[in-house]
Amino acid sequence: MYLILYKYIIYEKMKRVIHITLIGSLIVIVLLLNSLKAKTTPLTEAKEETAKTEYYDDFRENVYFTKEENLSDEFATGLADYLKKHLKAGTLEKGLKKISSDYIILNKKEKEKAMKKDTNKMLRSYQMTEGQKLDEWYQVNLSEIGNDIVIKHPKGNEAIFYFFPTWYEVGYDMALRSKGNGDVYFISWKNNNYMAITDKNPKRDTIKGITIYNYNSSIYIGSLMRIEINRDKKTDVSYYLYFMTGTGQEPDGGATYWP
């Protein structure tokens, strides 16, 4: 009888010791976790704060467009007639492919290489503020120096095109923008290179117009020629210039945000 009682007392004491040991272990673990959290939280918050406060320069030129009476001299002779003929015949895409200029669609590694080359960090600013996976980057020769970058940035049913001209062969200047709901082409006519953006109807099954961009213009920073089919089934030609303003300034009357 005494032996049984003695074993029971020993058993209860062992249970109490084990219980106390477990509680102590849990307390130690909690203290260690709190200690680690106290050490890592400031670093995490610091990184988040750095990401929030990191500043990128605006990669866009502060420009508008002004309509001009006639800028036909800024486009090689015969180009307008060639495009009008194909637009009326419904063969514009075929006609554009016939006069295609050389260009390269950049892959991920080539994009990184271009951003590293860019001492002005314009491409990096674009990528960190507006870049998206659906963007298409083209290396083209549109400026006097060449090796320029055009980025097609899809936005809803349209796309914005950013033209980054080469800047002293060591980087890229701020981008000039354009917009359209069609496709982009890079064309050459009589040794002059241009960017062309088609304009499609709402169903996107018919091309109703095209805008040609001359970024090696003899006047100002870029000239545009727009050709479209009017209600009478005839072709109209209109011209625009990029109009640069000071930072935050609104242009005088006559300038528009998009041509």
Full residue range of the structural domain in which residue 91 is found: 63-256
Percentage of the residues of the chain whose pLDDT score is greater than 70: 76
Whole-number Å distance between alpha carbons of 204 and 229 = 15
In the block, which residue shows the tokens 């203290």? 31
Higher pLDDT, 36 or 182: 182
pLDDT tens per residue, range 13-60: 444 444 444 445 555 454 555 554 544 444 334 434 444 456 788 999
Q: Are residues 36 and 114 in the same domain?
A: no
pLDDT value at position 29? 54
Average of per-residue pLDDT across 69-93:
96
Select from 119, 151, 118, 116 the least CA-distant residue to 137: 151
Q: Are residues 119 and 247 in the same domain?
A: yes
Whole-number Å distance between alpha carbons of 60 and 173 = 9
Q: Are residues 84 and 158 in the same domain?
A: yes
- Confidence tier at 148 by pLDDT (50, 70, 90): very high
Whole-number Å distance between alpha carbons of 158 and 134 = 13
pLDDT tens per residue, range 87-124: 999 999 999 999 999 999 999 999 999 999 999 999 99
Q: Are residues 96 and 205 in the same domain?
A: yes
Q: Are residues 69 and 139 in the same domain?
A: yes
Higher pLDDT, 219 or 85: 85
Q: Are residues 146 and 209 in the same domain?
A: yes
Final residue of a structural domain among 11, 36, 54: 54
Q: Are residues 85 and 24 in the same domain?
A: no
Cβ neighbours of residue 215 closer than 8 Å, sequence gap 6 or more: 142, 143, 148, 163, 165, 176, 195, 221, 222
Cβ distance 170 to 147 under 8 Å? Answer: no
Q: Are residues 67 and 49 in the same domain?
A: no
Encoding tokens for residue 92?
């514009």
Which of 47-61, 122-136, 197-211: highest mean pLDDT?
Answer: 122-136
What φ, ψ does residue 140 adopt, rounded to 5°?
Answer: -135, 175
Final residue of a structural domain among 17, 37, 54: 54
Helix ranges, 54-150 (H): 79-89, 92-98, 108-117, 122-129
DSSP letter (8 states) at residue 100 = B
What φ, ψ does residue 107 adopt, rounded to 5°?
Answer: -90, -175
Whole-number Å distance between alpha carbons of 201 and 199 = 7
Strand ranges, E, within 141-183: 148-155, 158-164, 166-167, 171-172, 176-180
Q: Are residues 72 and 41 in the same domain?
A: no
Name the domain count of the chain. Answer: 2
Q: Are residues 29 and 157 in the same domain?
A: no
Q: Are residues 194 and 125 in the same domain?
A: yes
Final residue of a structural domain among 31, 54, 77: 54
Q: Are residues 2 and 102 in the same domain?
A: no
pLDDT value at position 10? 40
Check whether 238 has a pLDDT greater than 70: yes
Percentage of the residues of the chain whose pLDDT score is greater than 90: 62
- Confidence tier at 257 by pLDDT (50, 70, 90): confident
Bridge-based pairing state of the strands 255-256 and 235-244: unpaired
